[in-house]
Amino acid sequence: MSVLTLGTVAFDTIATPFGNSGKVVGGAASYIALAVSHFTDQQHVVSVIGEDFPQAFLDELRKRGAGLDGLTLVAGGASFHWSGSYHKDMVGRDTLATDLNVLIGWEPAVSAAGAEADFVMLGNLDPEVQLKVLDQIQTPKLVVLDTMNFWMDVALDNLKKVIGRVDVLTVNDEEARQLTGKHFLPQAAEAIHAMGPKTVVIKKGEHGALMFHEGEVFFAPAYPLDKVVDPTGAGDTFAGGFVGYLAARAAATGLTTWEDMKQAVTVGSVMASFTCEAFGTEGLASLSVDTLRVRHNAYLALTACGDVVWPQG
Amino acid sequence: MSVLTLGTVAFDTIATPFGNSGKVVGGAASYIALAVSHFTDQQHVVSVIGEDFPQAFLDELRKRGAGLDGLTLVAGGASFHWSGSYHKDMVGRDTLATDLNVLIGWEPAVSAAGAEADFVMLGNLDPEVQLKVLDQIQTPKLVVLDTMNFWMDVALDNLKKVIGRVDVLTVNDEEARQLTGKHFLPQAAEAIHAMGPKTVVIKKGEHGALMFHEGEVFFAPAYPLDKVVDPTGAGDTFAGGFVGYLAARAAATGLTTWEDMKQAVTVGSVMASFTCEAFGTEGLASLSVDTLRVRHNAYLALTACGDVVWPQG
């Protein structure tokens, strides 16, 4: 099953209380595409870059089967560049600079092959761009949307249009609260279901993720890392692992079941932990399936325990 | 196996953004004793009350097998009374009043039977009082300590003495960080191990709890409630369920294993969810084993998923 990945392919410059990244490759689609590539070599990346973007990263994506027909190269343009600084808690962050550069005026163009994608991962971007991409896709089996509070602040109407057209929404807990006005997450998920998405994944960073679907709830913890170097891209990696896993399962079975989705959330959670262990995309790019599998086993052991013996009632 | 429970038996007056409790029975030992009583009728409560404390609650404790030989009644005294107001997030809270009343000058007296307790639950209190109680107990099999940031601020030396004498420490994430100066929880747990406790349980409220023990890690989510009415007492309930379950297992097997401790954390987590659903101790007192078991099954289903199918590496 093929996956269409939309998002930024860009640069990040990140400061944390523990170190600085320098200017590194980042962007939602970079993380998503790498995560997806662990599960399928049928991927179409839709994004835009400037002439300053490193060829080596594009070669890496191509080597992993990510088609770049939908990647616009703006002659003389500079790639999108985000710069931010994390607080001491490694969760809160301040944006220091957002250089939109080639994002300005970009008209996303989906290739003929991309338009036939089975799975669509709309990474964090202007909802208007997400809508333009959705309009070019024929009959996807599953559309997943990741977004953030910024778009709730400045583009809520368009964001709601996108939300109304997707199967799965992934947002963090504060964003779910902002979007719905509901403090308690089961209530927020219900309000989001009413906007369209049958499945709602609420990401809580180091506290894991909750998935709500047709009255069912699933919880996936975060893998407890000894040290977080940089959480940037963790949410994108999570989303990419989630969609990539579902695409691989659907390729084998023709279906996307609730069991598949639960497994996909655990896979995405574990993949995200590798992204947190280093600046940039390197940890994710160099990840082997064996390494992933070993940590996933440790991850499952985190919540495994024998049967509780109850007192006589 | 018998359990000795130390803590306050007191009054709370609680305001949340969603309602007010009025003056209700609260206090760490009230919650712990009720939770423990679901698992054993061999319990000794060590606390102090004034003449204003309702006889009905004491009768309830006695009916549940909690011995009150160690409960000091101060003639003419008023019971401890805490009053607080929760923030919108239902996590942060401001203390409005702390009327120590009968706590001032109280010398805890453990009965002869209590001194032979197998399990000791030192609920949140002045570390000096916790030390005085520990000194009166002969050869406990397992001592669990719950404490909070307040004692780190005002009584750190004594607190460290207690920590050095217990098997299990339960604290919340911010307290673990404050106590150790380590931000990342696995590092904080390691620093706490070095202070004495072989087992460290880090409570994260709605985000669950992590337990660290001899290189092993276990994670227990919080049960996702549609609505939290009042989290007061949730940590005490968790600790009481944890110790009570371990006492019941040890009564059956003579042992406390890592598997027992993992199960105990899940039991404590589910019991705490009932405390969060109402003001005061009523939810916990009226809880039946069947109701607990049903929610515990739903709780286990939260993290249960089939085997992940990995791509060929």
Q: What is the CATH number of domain A3-302?
A: 3.40.1190.20
pLDDT tens for chain B, 313 residues long, are 999 999 999 999 999 999 999 999 999 999 999 999 999 999 999 999 999 999 999 999 999 999 999 999 999 999 999 999 999 888 899 999 999 999 999 999 999 999 999 999 999 999 999 999 999 999 999 999 999 999 999 999 999 999 999 999 999 999 999 999 999 999 999 999 999 999 999 999 999 999 999 999 999 999 999 889 999 999 999 999 999 999 999 999 999 999 999 999 999 999 999 999 999 999 999 999 999 999 999 999 999 998 999 987 5
Contact B90 A226 (CB under 8 A): no
The distance of A39 to chain B (nearest Cα, Å) reads 6
Q: How confident is the model at residue A144 (pLDDT cuts 50, 70, 90)?
A: very high
Per residue in B181-190, pLDDT (tens digit) is 999 999 999 9
DSSP summary character for residue A201: E
CA angle B128-B133-B136, nearest 5°?
Answer: 130
At residue B305, φ and ψ (nearest 5 deg) are -150, 160
In this complex, is the C-beta atom of B92 within 8 Å of any C-beta atom belonging to chain A? no
Contact at CB, A309 and B259, closer than 8 angstroms:
no
pLDDT in tens, A269-294: 999 999 999 999 999 999 999 999 99
Interacting residues of B64 by C-beta distance below 8 A, sequence separation 6+: B33, B34, B37, B41, B43
Question: pTM value?
Answer: 0.93
Cβ-nearest to A204 among B207, B252, B302: B207
Instruction: State which residue of chain B sits closest to A37, comparing Cα positions.
Output: B311
Closest CA to A241 of A219, A263, A210: A263
Task: List chain A residues with CB under 8 Å of B290.
Answer: 313
Smallest Cα–Cα separation from B47: which of B23, B22, B64, B67? Answer: B67
What pLDDT is stored for residue B302 in this prediction? 95
- Please state, in angstroms and rounded to a whole number, the distance separating the CA atoms of residues B62 and B43: 10
CB atoms under 10 Å from CB of B95, counted, come to: 10
Closest alpha carbon within chain A to B211: A302
Domain ranges, ordered by start, for chain B:
3-302
> Shortest CB distance from A224 goes to which of B210, B259, B263?
B210
B82 to chain A nearest CA, in Å?
A: 26
- CA of A254, closest CA in chain B: separation in Å? 15
d(CA B213, CA B190): 9
CA distances from B104 to A75, B78, B107, B157, B311 (A): 77, 11, 9, 20, 65
Mean pLDDT of A233-243: 98
Query: In B, residues 11-50, which contact A (CB 8 Å cutoff)?
Result: 38-39
User: Is the minimum CB–CB distance between A243 and chain B shorter than 8 Å?
Assistant: no
- Give me the phi and psi of B186, to 5 degrees please: -60, -35
Alpha-carbon A120 to chain mean position = 11
- Does the beta carbon of B279 lie under 8 angstroms from any beta carbon of chain A? no
Contact A305 B218 (CB under 8 A): yes
Q: Which residues of A touch B41 (CB under 8 A)?
A: none
Q: Chain B 109-168, CB below 8 Å of chain A: which residues?
A: none
B61-84: pLDDT as tens digits: 999 999 999 999 999 999 999 999
Task: Tally A–B CB contacts below 8 A.
Answer: 120
Best probe of the B interface among A302, A307, A312, by most B CBs < 10 A, is: A302
Sort out which chain A residues have CB atoms less than 8 A from B307's CB and list them: 263
Query: Considering only alpha carbons, which residue of chain B is nearest residue A38?
Result: B311
CA B134 to chain CA centroid, Å, is 17
